Every structure is written in structure tokens, then in C-alpha cells.
């Protein structure tokens, strides 16, 4: 019975969490936008209730009704507008924008309500009680629990039964289709935002009197607890999500009772984030796959390299004179330089490699606490302690790379956010971090007498040198093989993996590198302050960092300079009191992040205009960013014309094949591929045809290692590769293109093609991913030149792949696959998006490629004109089963194939656009 009061208290708070989480999941399900600022909606409602009930003395019922029935829908409408503006933007912009909303709310509330006054919302619900055993239960507790259950049940029933509910479910799958059916997807989404925000507002109003005092941050983070509940509901089921809220509420209360000392004292507040982190880690990959792209696409104002070089030198000279110019704020300048390193580390992760970290302040906290303990307790020499502090963060970065490997997009963002809060609640107060006392840690300056770096001035110069070194290192990394792999990873992880490079190794590398640099930044900044406490490393800061890294313009290392100086120097140099200026700035950053879609568009237009004007005045090689390595030596027309005199052309392949044996792939109860055995030998084009949904792409995915077959084998040159991953298969000679092309859109064509060869050299070794030998780079250039020539795209070398027509992109895709010594190439509907003439030319190219290289091609295609013209042998699938195979003439003549797929007649294969009849070009899409 001693547990009963905790159980009841847990059910009450859990009910509020569940309510908030249900609203969150509803809006996520219907709009695809996960609102990281959902807690801020509850904060707005709670403060509105405080104003109406406590200040304006409105009866609580009326105040609550206004907050929930007016405030909630208005907030919902605002968010619907935000969601609409985010429509087609990348995931990073969406995350930044909702974080922006959260920052705006927290800042406005902080500015409006000074922190010196304690604000309490009185318990307004009836407090009369009855007893269950010896435990009193108040009417307020019963009302909250009943309200939570009823509202969620009503929503679940509405979602299942009502017309609008059905439309809400339909809008998840296909908004345009819903529009076509006569129901406005826009209005359906608007309703879901209204309902979702109303649920959040209700939770805010219910939660307010349960808190010892109103505080925007605590309130926002308390409702963030909803993330854990949403994870239990797999971000999809409303009842399960509500149940998740209850489970978390009860478990939190039980932890509070059970763990009163040691590391587990922090378990209760950390529990929702622990749940979030664990659920994300153990959920099946497919369930939580999120293909949204992360990279900010239009942050690239192209400034010529010489201008950047001169600018960089000028900035360095200016910074060198700061101790003479501004002695008053020297510590702030030193801090700002430490933060340059932090933003470089975050930029490497977010801007270069398209990963997300919403816990970067945690690495700083690790760095600063390690630095303090190593110098104060272990008495390590200062420089050694600085290096070891960074090294200590590396395993933590590697741990964080685990969710990065398993998850992507939004779920990675949530996992890192959960990780940061977990670290704060559970470990900040441990003796090996900031300790329980709250006094904080002491950090001392380096004591090198002949360098006098212990003075403010000396230490400033030391940090300046280290920040410049970090900037130079980051620049070198982004221009090395690793940099190219990181950018390719950001553009298309699948494209990189099927080119031969292990993307898991790349992810671990970048997380470790970023963690090291962030910890160094933390240590340097801590030493500058000389006394730090855990409060300075609130997880909210990680959100501000992310918002900042997204909104600042400029390429590396400039963005780091702008972000750091904006965050640290402006508040320090401004005339107001530090706290107010910092809050105003937070508001500004939040607003900028919120308006990111708008500024993104504007920025793109301006940068495109500028880039268009620059070429006239400057040599082409100064324009824009083409990565170094392969692209520094673009193939000259002369070298192509000379046939690469002296270069080693790969010998024509004589033997080898890709074979499947009784291959079976299942998706739950669906048998997508059912015992398929086929062979695609080198030197021939083999077709794989069948109606939509026959299992062709699934067969390709199983062959290339993107899917594990339930049964059967895949062999390459007689070698069983069934258990190998896509990168390993690519290195053994299996190339692949995709119907939805997986090019590295931000890279020039040349780098795309070169990556086909370079990814294989990079492979799965961390060392080889870092950089390549000269011989390898020569070979990469040769392979890229030859593949581009073979595909006729040499003149496109310097163009960004994202700017090409579909036909050109198909050729780039083909060339990239060919650059990697491919033996057998899987082409998935390569004519998709091509016009008639382009399709015929593409067919010619395929024949040339097979003729010149002797590679084998397995071709999935609906264009029967192309298939019958180029293929030597064709396999036909229907409902996952192989129904026929033979030469084109036999396939076309087969009654079974006609019945299953071809239908009426198929014209004789054409050889040129002129000879081709319209029937040839009709794609069979039965
Ligand atoms: N990830 C998945 N989860 C569940 N079912 C899937 C998945 N991918 C494919 N399927 C199902 O497997 C079957 C085969 O699909 P697949 O995409 O391989 O067909 P296809 O022959 O390539 O079709 P198309 O010509 O339209 O590309 C279909 O019933 C499809 O709905």
C-alpha cells in the first residue's frame, strides 16, 4: 500500500503527459511535421491561464475554457501556417523551424515575466477527497485522469469512425489523392493542428497547478516528456501513446520513491528520455525509417577562394589586435573563439554530413568536466589534459553514432535530444562531472612561463591559434576523401553505400570527430571562465546551437565565426544587462529559425544572382565550390580525344555472373519475391520484366544487399554474397542504379562519377576513408574520365548533378556505377523520365558499354521497345514468381507473358527514333 500514493500521482501526471503526447502524435501523423515546440504550446496556455485566472481574476472555469477552446485552436492555426510554409523543405529546416518556435516562446515568456518573482498557479480543481485504503484521492486527481482517458478515447474513436477522422488517416498516405476525391487535404490538416494544439493547451492548463512554480523552461521540458510517450506509441498509435504517458508518469513516481541516492536519483526526470532513447534504439529499422534529407540545401553563397583567403587573413590580423583594442571584453573574445571550434564541430556533422545532433552541449560538458578533473585532481600537464578531454568524448560520440547508424532524420534528432537530457539529469551531478554541491568546477590556465599563456591576453592568443588550427583542419577534412564521403553521405546514403563505401564507418568517424572538437571547445571555454557549473550546459543550448548552425550563412569555416560571434560577442558587447540581451538574442535566433523557409528561399535567390554575376569577372576555377581530389583535375577534351594515352583501360571482362537461387523476400505476410532463380552473365544484357508490384525492385534490393532475403542465395561470380552488405557487394563488382535516382546532387558531375571509384577504395576501413594514396587518386581520375567518356557526359563534368535534366542524370548514374570496376550492373527502370529519343540513345549507350567493357547488365524496364532491343535474355515475374524466361522473341510470343503483363501486341524492336513505332515506346504498366 505504500506504493499506492505514488501510483495515483503517477497516473495523474501520466494522464497529462499522455494527453500532450496524443496531440503531438496526431499532428505528426497527419502533417508529417514533428513539432519539437509542442511543449511550448502548453507553456503558452499555462501562462495565459495564469494571466486570466491569477491577474485578471477570471473564474478558473472561464479562464480554462478560453485557454483551451480559444488559445488551443488559435495556436493550432498558427502552427498549421508554419507547417504549410515548411511544406517541401528539408528535414533540417523543419527541425530548426519548430525549435525556433520553442525558442521564441521561451524567450518571450522570459522577457515578459522576470525570474525574480515566483509565480504560482493555485490548485483550482476541487480538492475534496475520498480514501482508497489509507490513501486520499482528490476530486482534482480523478477529474484529470478521467479527462485524459475520455479525451484520448474520444479522439481515437473519432479518428477511426468519423468522416473527418478517416480523412485525417487518408491525408497521411496521399494528400493530393484526398484532394482529388473532393476533400480538402488542407482543411483536414488544419483540423488536426487545431485538435493537436488544443490537447497541448489542455495539458498546459492541467499541469500548471501541479508545478511548484511557473517557469517557461521547466514547463516546456515537462511536456517534452510527451516525446517518450510518443515513442512508446511508435509515433503512430493514439491509445498506445496515451498509455505510454501513463506508464512514464507512474514509473517516474516509483523511481522518485525508490531511488533517493546515487546516480539513479536522476532517473525519474530522465526516464521519458531514457524511454525515448531505448525505444528508438530497439525499434525495427523499417518501422522508424525516415528518408527526409537533412542538409541545408541553400546555404551556399559562392564567394571566390582568393576573396575568402584575403578575408580570412584580414580577420586573423584583426583578431590578433583584439587584446590591444578591447581589453574590457577579452574573456568574451576568448569564449567566442572557443565557440568557433564548437560550431565547426557541429557544422561538420550537420552541414557537411547531413547528420543531426541536438545534444552538442553535452560534449562541451564532458570536455570541460574532464579538463577540470584531469588538471586539478590528476595533475596532468595542461596540453595533455586538453587532448585527453577531447579523446574522452570520442567514445560518447561513437555511442551516439549507434542511433545514427540505425536511425535517420527525425528519429536521430530525437535520440540525440533524449541523450543530452539523459546526460544532464543522470550524470551532471556525479562527482566525475560537475558534482552535487552546485559549487561547480575550477579550471586553471596553462602555466608555461616562457609563453605567458596564463594571463588573459596570453590565453586569448593560445585559443586564437587553436581556433585557427581547428578551422584549417576542418577545411582540410572537407576537402579530403572523408569530406567528399561526408557530402555524399548527406546527399544520398544509399547511393554511397551501393557505390562501395561503408556508411556506418563514415557516420562513426564524423560523430567521433565532432565529439572531439566540441569537447575541446568546452574545455577551452571552461578554462577561459575558470569556474563553471552544470547549469551553464543546459540541453536547451543544444537546440539554440542547432538553430544557429542552420540560420547562419557562409561556407566553412565562416559560418562558425558568424554563429559564435553572434551567440557570444553580441550579448557581451551590447549595452543592456547580459541576461536580457542573451534572451533577446535567443528570441532573434528563434525567430530567424522559425522563418527559415522564407529566408532560405530569399537567400537562394540572392546567392544564385550573385553566382551568376561573378563568372564574368573571375576565372571559372574560382567560382563556387568544387571539391578537391578528383574534381581538381577535370578531364580535358584533349585528353579524352587522345583516348587517355598511357592510362590503363580495364580489360574486357571475360567471365562472371550475378545469380540468384530460389530467392524469397517477404514483407510481413506479403511474399514480394517467391523463389526466383536467375542469372545475369557478363557481356550480356538480361531483362527482368513484369507488371507493377511483381517484385522486380525487391529482387534488385535483395541482390544489392539493401534487403535480406527470407530464403535463397545471391551469388556473384559463384561467390555467396547473401550475408554481405551493399557496400561489400559493390566492392566485389556489383553496380546499381535506382528508379528514383540516388545521385549526390550537391556535388559536381565529375565528383559523382569519381565517387563510384573512390567509394570502393574508401571501403570499410576508417583509415582509408580518411584519405587516399596518390596512386589511388590517379586511378580514381582515370576511372571517372573513362566512365564519363563512355557515357558521353564529359562536357557536363563541372555541372552540379542536381541541376541536370533527367536524361543527363540517368547517364551520370550509369557512369558512376561504371567508374567502380563494375562486373554486373543492376539498372532499375533507367528509361523512366526519358523521352523517346533519349530512351533510344540510352539503349545505344548500354550496348556500347557492354560492347566496350564486357560488363553484364540486369535491366528492369517497362519500355518493351528498349527491352526487346537490347536484351539477350529476359526473365518475367508476376506476383513475385518467375513465370517465364527466354530470348526476347520467345517472351513476346509467350501466351503466359501476354496474359500476365504484355496484354495486346508488342511491336518489333526499333533501332532508332525514326524507325520506332509509337507502340514501342508505350510503357507497359499493368
Ligand atoms: N518496403 C516494403 N514494405 C512492404 N511491402 C513492400 C515493400 N516494398 C515492396 N513491397 C511490396 O512488394 C511487392 C513487390 O514490390 P516491388 O516494388 O518489388 O515491385 P516492382 O515489380 O518493382 O513494381 P514497379 O514496377 O511498380 O516498380 C509489392 O506488392 C509491394 O507492395
Give the tens place of pLDDT for each residue, 827-881.
998 888 778 888 888 888 888 888 888 889 999 988 888 888 899 999 999 999 9
The pLDDT score that the predictor gives to residue 578 is: 57
User: Which stretches of 528-614 are assigned E, i.e. beta strand?
Assistant: 531-532
User: Which stretches of 111-193 are assigned E, i.e. beta strand?
Assistant: 129-132, 135-138
Q: What 3-state class would DSSP assign to 860?
A: strand
Q: Among 655, 426, 638, 674, which residue's Cα sits nearest to residue 534?
A: 426
Measure 656 CA to ligand 1 centroid, in angstroms.
28
**Residue 502 binned pLDDT confidence (cut-offs 50, 70, 90):** very high
Contact in structure between 780 and 772 (CB atoms under 8 Å): yes
Q: Among 369, 564, 404, which residue's Cα sits nearest to residue 471?
A: 564
Q: What 3-state class would DSSP assign to 574?
A: coil
Determine phi and psi for 212, rounding to 5 degrees. Answer: -65, -35
Rounded Cα–Cα distance for residues 746 and 748 (Å): 7
Measure 171 CA to ligand 1 centroid, in angstroms.
21
User: Whose Cα sits closest to atom 28 in ligand 1?
Assistant: 693
Nearest atom (ligand 1) to Cα of 700:
18
Rounded Cα–Cα distance for residues 380 and 206 (Å): 52
Give the tens place of pLDDT for each residue, 47-68.
999 999 999 999 999 999 999 9
The pLDDT of residue 918 is above 70: no
Strands 670-681 and 441-442: unpaired
Give the tens place of pLDDT for each residue, 626-653.
443 333 333 333 333 333 333 445 555 5
**Radius of gyration for the chain, computed over Cα atoms and rounded to the nearest angstrom:** 30
Q: 643 in the Ramachandran plot: left (φ > 0), alpha (ψ -120 to 50) or beta?
A: left
Give the tens place of pLDDT for each residue, 404-418.
677 767 888 888 888
Contact in structure between 546 and 346 (CB atoms under 8 Å): yes
Residue 546 has a CB neighbour count (10 Å cut-off) of 27
Written as nine digits, the cell of 788 is: 564519363
Instruction: Give, in order, the Cα–Cα distances in Å from 40 to each of 20, 216, 222, 750, 851.
Output: 11, 8, 10, 46, 63
**Residue 426 binned pLDDT confidence (cut-offs 50, 70, 90):** confident
Contacting residues for 771 by C-beta, under 8 A, at least 6 apart: 480, 481, 482
Rounded Cα–Cα distance for residues 12 and 143 (Å): 9
Contact in structure between 494 and 738 (CB atoms under 8 Å): yes
Give the tens place of pLDDT for each residue, 742-790.
999 888 999 999 999 999 999 889 999 998 888 999 999 999 998 898 8
Mutate which of 676, 689, 695 to test ligand 1's pocket (most atoms within 8 Å of Cβ)?
Answer: 695
Measure 566 CA to ligand 1 centroid, in angstroms.
49
Average pLDDT score over the chain: 84
Residue 286 or residue 773, greater confidence: 773
The pLDDT score that the predictor gives to residue 656 is: 83
What is the sign of the dihedral through the CA atoms of 830, 834, 835 and 839? Answer: negative
Contact in structure between 26 and 226 (CB atoms under 8 Å): no
Nearest atom (ligand 1) to Cα of 668:
4
Q: What 3-state class would DSSP assign to 836?
A: helix
**Residue 451 binned pLDDT confidence (cut-offs 50, 70, 90):** low
Nearest atom (ligand 1) to Cα of 880:
14
Measure 635 CA to ligand 1 centroid, in angstroms.
40
Give the tens place of pLDDT for each residue, 681-705.
998 999 999 888 889 999 999 999 9
Q: Among 32, 45, 43, 42, which residue's Cα sits nearest to residue 95?
A: 32
Average pLDDT rounded to a whole number, residues 451-479: 88
User: Whose Cα sits closest to atom 3 in ligand 1?
Assistant: 667
Determine phi and psi for 11, rounding to 5 degrees. Answer: -65, -35
First to last CA, the chain: 66
Beta bridge partner(s), residue 856: 824
Nearest atom (ligand 1) to Cα of 701:
18
Nearest atom (ligand 1) to Cα of 694:
21
Nearest atom (ligand 1) to Cα of 695:
18
Measure 516 CA to ligand 1 centroid, in angstroms.
43
The pLDDT score that the predictor gives to residue 643 is: 37
Average pLDDT rounded to a whole number, residues 297-324: 78
DSSP string of 719-734?
EE-TTS-HHHHHHTTE
Contacting residues for 838 by C-beta, under 8 A, at least 6 apart: 807, 810, 831
The single-letter DSSP state of residue 535 is G
**Residue 298 binned pLDDT confidence (cut-offs 50, 70, 90):** very low
Average pLDDT rounded to a whole number, residues 503-521: 94
Measure 693 CA to ligand 1 centroid, in angstroms.
5
Measure 411 CA to ligand 1 centroid, in angstroms.
24
The pLDDT of residue 885 is above 60: yes
Contacting residues for 575 by C-beta, under 8 A, at least 6 apart: none
User: Whose Cα sits closest to atom 12 in ligand 1?
Assistant: 672
User: Whose Cα sits closest to atom 7 in ligand 1?
Assistant: 667
**Residue 5 binned pLDDT confidence (cut-offs 50, 70, 90):** confident
Q: Among 745, 861, 854, which residue's Cα sits nearest to residue 790?
A: 854
Measure 739 CA to ligand 1 centroid, in angstroms.
13
User: Whose Cα sits closest to atom 26 in ligand 1?
Assistant: 692
Contact in structure between 182 and 52 (CB atoms under 8 Å): no
The pLDDT score that the predictor gives to residue 727 is: 93
DSSP string of 590-601?
HHHHHTHHHHHH
Return the half-sphere exposure (C-beta side, CA atoms, 13 A cut-off) of residue 465.
6
Nearest atom (ligand 1) to Cα of 673:
14
Measure 494 CA to ligand 1 centroid, in angstroms.
18
Give residues (CB < 6 A) around ligand 1: 667, 670, 672, 690, 692-698
Written as nine digits, the cell of 510 is: 564524423
Average pLDDT rounded to a whole number, residues 565-590: 78
Measure 814 CA to ligand 1 centroid, in angstroms.
23
The pLDDT of residue 337 is above 90: yes
Residue 491 has a CB neighbour count (10 Å cut-off) of 24
Measure 879 CA to ligand 1 centroid, in angstroms.
10
Q: Among 269, 239, 207, 251, which residue's Cα sits nearest to residue 50?
A: 207
The pLDDT score that the predictor gives to residue 820 is: 84
The pLDDT score that the predictor gives to residue 289 is: 53
The pLDDT score that the predictor gives to residue 875 is: 94
Q: At what angle do helices 139-161 and 4-31 cross, to 10 degrees?
A: 30
Measure 886 CA to ligand 1 centroid, in angstroms.
24
Measure 671 CA to ligand 1 centroid, in angstroms.
10
Q: At what angle do helices 91-112 and 578-594 cross, to 10 degrees?
A: 150
Residue 174 or residue 625, greater confidence: 174
Mutate which of 285, 673, 696 to test ligand 1's pocket (most atoms within 8 Å of Cβ)?
Answer: 696
The pLDDT score that the predictor gives to residue 894 is: 84
Q: Of the spans 187-201, 257-271, 591-605, 620-634, which averages the highest pLDDT?
A: 187-201
Work out the burial of residue 715: count CB atoms within 10 Å of its CB; fewer than 13 is exposed, 13-18 middle, 19 or more buried: middle
User: Whose Cα sits closest to atom 24 in ligand 1?
Assistant: 692
Rounded Cα–Cα distance for residues 245 and 268 (Å): 14
Q: Among 653, 683, 651, 641, which residue's Cα sits nearest to residue 785?
A: 641
Q: Among 503, 317, 297, which residue's Cα sits nearest to residue 408?
A: 503
**Residue 297 binned pLDDT confidence (cut-offs 50, 70, 90):** very low
DSSP string of 639-677?
HHHTT-TT--PPPPP-S-EEEEEEEEEEETTEEEEEEEE
Beta bridge partner(s), residue 660: 678, 714
Work out the burial of residue 377: count CB atoms within 10 Å of its CB; fewer than 13 is exposed, 13-18 middle, 19 or more buried: exposed
What is the sign of the dihedral through the CA atoms of 275, 277, 282 and 288? Answer: positive
User: Whose Cα sits closest to atom 30 in ligand 1?
Assistant: 693
Mutate which of 288, 672, 862 to test ligand 1's pocket (most atoms within 8 Å of Cβ)?
Answer: 672
User: Whose Cα sits closest to atom 20 in ligand 1?
Assistant: 693
Q: Among 312, 537, 309, 542, which residue's Cα sits nearest to residue 414?
A: 542
User: Whose Cα sits closest to atom 11 in ligand 1?
Assistant: 672
The pLDDT of residue 156 is above 70: yes
Written as nine digits, the cell of 309 is: 583567403
Instruction: Give, in order, the Cα–Cα distances in Å from 26 to each of 76, 152, 169, 201.
Output: 12, 11, 10, 14
Measure 744 CA to ligand 1 centroid, in angstroms.
25
Give the tens place of pLDDT for each residue, 236-273.
888 899 999 999 999 999 998 888 877 788 888 888 88
Contact in structure between 289 and 235 (CB atoms under 8 Å): no
Domains of the chain with CATH codes = 4-282 (1.10.3470), 314-539 (no CATH)
Contact in structure between 444 and 533 (CB atoms under 8 Å): no
The pLDDT score that the predictor gives to residue 287 is: 56
Rounded Cα–Cα distance for residues 623 and 603 (Å): 18
The pLDDT of residue 740 is above 90: no
Amino acid at each position: 500500500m505504500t506504493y499506492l500514493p505514488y501510483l495515483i500521482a503517477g497516473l495523474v501526471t501520466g494522464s497529462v503527459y499522455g494527453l500532450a503526447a496524443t496531440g503531438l502524435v496526431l499532428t505528426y501523423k497527419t502533417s508529417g511535421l514533428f513539432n519539437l515546440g509542442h511543449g511550448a504550446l502548453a507553456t503558452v496556455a499555462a501562462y495565459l491561464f495564469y494571466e486570466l485566472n491569477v491577474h485578471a481574476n477570471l473564474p478558473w472555469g472561464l479562464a480554462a475554457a478560453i485557454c483551451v477552446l480559444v488559445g488551443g485552436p488559435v495556436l493550432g492555426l498558427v502552427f498549421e501556417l508554419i507547417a504549410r510554409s515548411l511544406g517541401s523543405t528539408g528535414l533540417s529546416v523543419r527541425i530548426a523551424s519548430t525549435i525556433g518556435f520553442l525558442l521564441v516562446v521561451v524567450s518571450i515568456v522570459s522577457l515578459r515575466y522576470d525570474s525574480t518573482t515566483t509565480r504560482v498557479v493555485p490548485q483550482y480543481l476541487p480538492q475534496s477527497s475520498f480514501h482508497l485504503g489509507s490513501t486520499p484521492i482528490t476530486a482534482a486527481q480523478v477529474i484529470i485522469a478521467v479527462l485524459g482517458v475520455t479525451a484520448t478515447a474520444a479522439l481515437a474513436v473519432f479518428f477511426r469512425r468519423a468522416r473527418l477522422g478517416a480523412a485525417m488517416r487518408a491525408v497521411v498516405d496521399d494528400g493530393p489523392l484526398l484532394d482529388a476525391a473532393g476533400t480538402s487535404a488542407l482543411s483536414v490538416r488544419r483540423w488536426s493542428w487545431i485538435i493537436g494544439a488544443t490537447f497541448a493547451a489542455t495539458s498546459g492548463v492541467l499541469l500548471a497547478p501541479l508545478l511548484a512554480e511557473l517557469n517557461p523552461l521547466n514547463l516546456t521540458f515537462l511536456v517534452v516528456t510527451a516525446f517518450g510517450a510518443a515513442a512508446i506509441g511508435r509515433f503512430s498509435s493514439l491509445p498506445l501513446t496515451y498509455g505510454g504517458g501513463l506508464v512514464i508518469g507512474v514509473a517516474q513516481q516509483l523511481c522518485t520513491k525508490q531511488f533517493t541516492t546515487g546516480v539513479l536519483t536522476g532517473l525519474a526526470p530522465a526516464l521519458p528520455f531514457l524511454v525515448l532513447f531505448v525505444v528508438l534504439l530497439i525499434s525495427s529499422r523499417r518501422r522508424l525509417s525516415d528518408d527526409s534529407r537533412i542538409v541545408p540545401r541553400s546555404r551556399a553563397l559562392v564567394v571566390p577562394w582568393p576573396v575568402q583567403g584575403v578575408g580570412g587573413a584580414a580577420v586573423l590580423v584583426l583578431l590578433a589586435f583584439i587584446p590591444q583594442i578591447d581589453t574590457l571584453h577579452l574573456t568574451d573574445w576568448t569564449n567566442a573563439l572557443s565557440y568557433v571550434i564548437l560550431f565547426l564541430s557541429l557544422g561538420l556533422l550537420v552541414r557537411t554530413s547531413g547528420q543531426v545532433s541536438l545534444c552538442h552541449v553535452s560534449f562541451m560538458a564532458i570536455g570541460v568536466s574532464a579538463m577540470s578533473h584531469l588538471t586539478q585532481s590528476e595533475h596532468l600537464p595542461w596540453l595533455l589534459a586538453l587532448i585527453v578531454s577531447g579523446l574522452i568524448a570520442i567514445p560518447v560520440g561513437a555511442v551516439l553514432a549507434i542511433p545514427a547508424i540505425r536511425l535517420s532524420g527525425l528519429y536521430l534528432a530525437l535520440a540525440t535530444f533524449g541523450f543530452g537530457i539523459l546526460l544532464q539529469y543522470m550524470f551532471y551531478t556525479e562527482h566525475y562531472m560537475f558534482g552535487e554541491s552546485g559549487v561547480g568546477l575550477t579550471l586553471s590556465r596553462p602555466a608555461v612561463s616562457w609563453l605567458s599563456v596564463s594571463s588573459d591576453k596570453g590565453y586569448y592568443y593560445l585559443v586564437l591559434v587553436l581556433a585557427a588550427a581547428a578551422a584549417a583542419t576542418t577545411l582540410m577534412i572537407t576537402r579530403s576523401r572523408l569530406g567528399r564521403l561526408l557530402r555524399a553521405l548527406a546527399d544520398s546514403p544509399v547511393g554511397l553505400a551501393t557505390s562501395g563505401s561503408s556508411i556506418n564507418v563514415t557516420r562513426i568517424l564524423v560523430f567521433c570527430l565532432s565529439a572531439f572538437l566540441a569537447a575541446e571547445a568546452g574545455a577551452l571555454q571552461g578554462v577561459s571562465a575558470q569556474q563553471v557549473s552544470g547549469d551553464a550546459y543546459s540541453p536547451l543550448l543544444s537546440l539554440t546551437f542547432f538553430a544557429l548552425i542552420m540560420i547562419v550563412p557562409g561556407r566553412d569555416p565562416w559560418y562558425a565565426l558568424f554563429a559564435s560571434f553572434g551567440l557570444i560577442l553580441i550579448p557581451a558587447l551590447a549595452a543592456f544587462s547580459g541576461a536580457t540581451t542573451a534572451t533577446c538574442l535567443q528570441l532573434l535566433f528563434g525567430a530567424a529559425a522559425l522563418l527559415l523557409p522564407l529566408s532560405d528561399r530569399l537567400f537562394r535567390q540572392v546567392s544564385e544572382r550573385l553566382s551568376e554575376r561573378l563568372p564574368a569577372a573571375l576565372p571559372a576555377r574560382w567560382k563556387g565550390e568544387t571539391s578537391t581530389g578528383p574534381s581538381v583535375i577535370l578531364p580535358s577534351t584533349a585528353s579524352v580525344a587522345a583516348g587517355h594515352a598511357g592510362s590503363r583501360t580495364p580489360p574486357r571482362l571475360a567471365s562472371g555472373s550475378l545469380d540468384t537461387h530460389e530467392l524469397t523476400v517477404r514483407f510481413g505476410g506479403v511474399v514480394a519475391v517467391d523463389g526466383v532463380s536467375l542469372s545475369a552473365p557478363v557481356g550480356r544484357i538480361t531483362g527482368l520484366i513484369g507488371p507493377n508490384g511483381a517484385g522486380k525492385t525487391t529482387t534488385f534490393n535483395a541482390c544489392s544487399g539493401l534487403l535480406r532475403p527470407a530464403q535463397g542465395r545471391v551469388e556473384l561470380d559463384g561467390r555467396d554474397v547473401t550475408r554481405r552488405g551493399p557496400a561489400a557487394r559493390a566492392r566485389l563488382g556489383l553496380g546499381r542504379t535506382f528508379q528514383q535516382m540516388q545521385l549526390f546532387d550537391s556535388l559536381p558531375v565529375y565528383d559523382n562519377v569519381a565517387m563510384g571509384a573512390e567509394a570502393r577504395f574508401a571501403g570499410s576501413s576508417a583509415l582509408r576513408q580518411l584519405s587516399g594514396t596518390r596512386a589511388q587518386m590517379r586511378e580514381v581520375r582515370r576511372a571517372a574520365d573513362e566512365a564519363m567518356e563512355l557515357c558521353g557526359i564529359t562536357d557536363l563534368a563541372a555541372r552540379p548533378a542536381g541541376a541536370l535534366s533527367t536524361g543527363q542524370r540517368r547517364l551520370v548514374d550509369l557512369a558512376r556505377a561504371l567508374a567502380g570496376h563494375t562486373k554486373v550492373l543492376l539498372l532499375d527502370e533507367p528509361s523512366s523520365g526519358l523521352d523517346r529519343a533519349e530512351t533510344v540513345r540510352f539503349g545505344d549507350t548500354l550496348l556500347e558499354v557492354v560492347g566496350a567493357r564486357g560488363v553484364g547488365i540486369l535491366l528492369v524496364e517497362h519500355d518493351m521497345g528498349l527491352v526487346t532491343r537490347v536484351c539477350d535474355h529476359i526473365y518475367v515475374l508476376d506476383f513475385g514468381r518467375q513465370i517465364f524466361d527466354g530470348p526476347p522473341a520467345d517472351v513476346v510470343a509467350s501466351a503466359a507473358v501476354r496474359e500476365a503483363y504484355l496484354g495486346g501486341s508488342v511491336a518489333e524492336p526499333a533501332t532508332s527514333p525514326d524507325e520506332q513505332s509509337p507502340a514501342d515506346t508505350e510503357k507497359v504498366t499493368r
